[in-house]
Chain A
Amino acid sequence: MTRKRRRLMIVGLCALGIGSATALTLTAFQDNLVFFKSPSDIVRETPPGGRAFRLGGLVETGSVTRALGTDGRPAATFRVTDGANTIPVTYTGVLPDLFREGQGVVTLGRLSPDGTFRASEVLARHDEAYMPPEVADALRRSGHWNPTQGPAPAASTWNTRSGS
């Protein structure tokens, strides 16, 4: 029994050591592990000019204007918000299908001196809500949710609701 107990102790101590080492490493690299920065992060600490980074947040309602760029490629300007702060973004290229006002996006690019973010890549980020089209329509009709204003209301209010 003592040998089993000793092996248990050794495994437990190793687990404790590896766990703490991992926790410390992850905390130390916290800044590098985030995939994107929010507008508030950028307002708080402006990244050095000319350095590419990712900016993420929701596409602000009513901020999207689409045009045709000088080279004939589609271009778009919109503002990315996290509620507290917003950053204007310009992008030339094809936007993903899920891109719309109120949708989460992650954009890769550089901040220009005038404060606009020049994106070279726009990825759509969808939230964790999944519902049939009829339910989304019913929520919209009843005024409980406007998808262009942001994420869906608390799931308990709709996840057993029928479409009609």
Chain B
Amino acid sequence: MTSAPPRGGGLHRFANPGRFLRTTGKVMPWLWGATVLVLGIGLAWGLAFSPPDWQQGETVRIMYVHVPMAWLAMGGYTGLVIASLMSLIWRHPLADLAAREMSPVGAAATALCLATGSLWGKPMWGTWWVWDARLTSVLILFFLWLGHAALVRAFDDPERGARAGAILALVGAVNVPIIKFSVDWWNTLHQPASVTRLAAPGLHVDILYPLLTCALGFTLLFTALILARTRSAVMERRIRGLELASARRHEAARA
């Protein structure tokens, strides 16, 4: 299974599952270490050692989870779109597995984004939920993640499931710019972007730096989770291949 040398260069260098397992196996301990370190610093800094907001008070600390989750929900979906493109066009064998393992984690991030946003909205806006363009488009993103997770697992033939999921992910890609620009295109209750805008960030550095640290920490966690899940999926597939081979040998011996 792993003995065949990878043909061609570029991305297919990583298509070899054996090489993928070896490379990521070396990276994983460092990745987990960096995750614990950065996320620990970021959360402590944000939740305990950063100043409150002048009008929102301590409630502003919800931001240190809410904003990274929102970025991961959208950034992770962009990753899913790239994996789906690689799977549909270049038939990259690891892209299918990565996409399949990505959607439950992405759904969890989006759910956390919605939940923390709701908890933040009640004391600040005065409501748990409104159907404005930003909130509604993020809810659609959550359903896209769930739909992808369900669809790729709904077929007996994993390859057909992967293809259906990839098509769904690509169709849903249209939602990502809608989420990003919803606050600029339409009147929404949700405020416009504070960090990712052309003008200077609308956050004081004492709030901005812990937020960026938390965002980096959660991104490392997201990456580590997906790599770990993809690794176990590769190993699972390998075990299934070995089991099939041994069953075939038994069959041949009996005949």
Contact = CB atoms under 8 A, between A and B. Distances in A.
Interface of A: 4, 7-8, 11, 14-15, 18-19, 22, 26, 30, 33-38, 56, 96-98, 106, 122-137, 147, 152, 154-156, 158-161
A151 to B, nearest CB: 10
Contacts of B54: 131-133, 135-137
Interface in B171-187: 171, 173-174, 178, 185-187
Given A98-B124, A155-B200, 18 more contacts: A4-B90, A11-B170, A18-B174, A30-B186, A34-B133, A35-B131, A35-B186, A35-B187, A36-B187, A96-B126, A122-B126, A124-B124, A128-B193, A130-B207, A132-B53, A133-B51, A154-B199, A159-B202
B52 interface: yes
A85 to B, nearest CB: 15
B191 interface: yes
**B interface, size bucket:** 35 or more
B232 interface: no
A159 B124 contact: no
B188 A156 contact: no
Contacts of A8: 89
Contacts of B82: none
Contacts of A123: 125-127, 130, 189
A11 B85 contact: yes
27 contacts: A4-B90, A7-B88, A8-B89, A14-B170, A22-B174, A26-B178, A33-B133, A35-B131, A35-B189, A36-B189, A98-B126, A123-B189, A125-B191, A126-B124, A128-B191, A128-B193, A129-B194, A130-B194, A130-B203, A132-B207, A154-B200, A155-B199, A156-B200, A158-B204, A159-B200, A159-B201, A159-B208
Contacts of B204: 130-132, 135, 158-161
Contacts of B130: 35, 123
Nearest to B132: A35
Contact of B202 (A132, A155, A160, A161): A155
A7 to B, nearest CB: 5
Given A35-B130, A35-B132, A159-B208, A19 B174 contact: yes
Contacts of B241: none
Nearest to B136: A33
A38 B186 CA distance: 12
Nearest to B137: A33
Contacts of B185: 26, 33
Contacts of A134: 51
Contacts of B192: 128
B200 to A, nearest CB: 4
A126 B51 contact: no
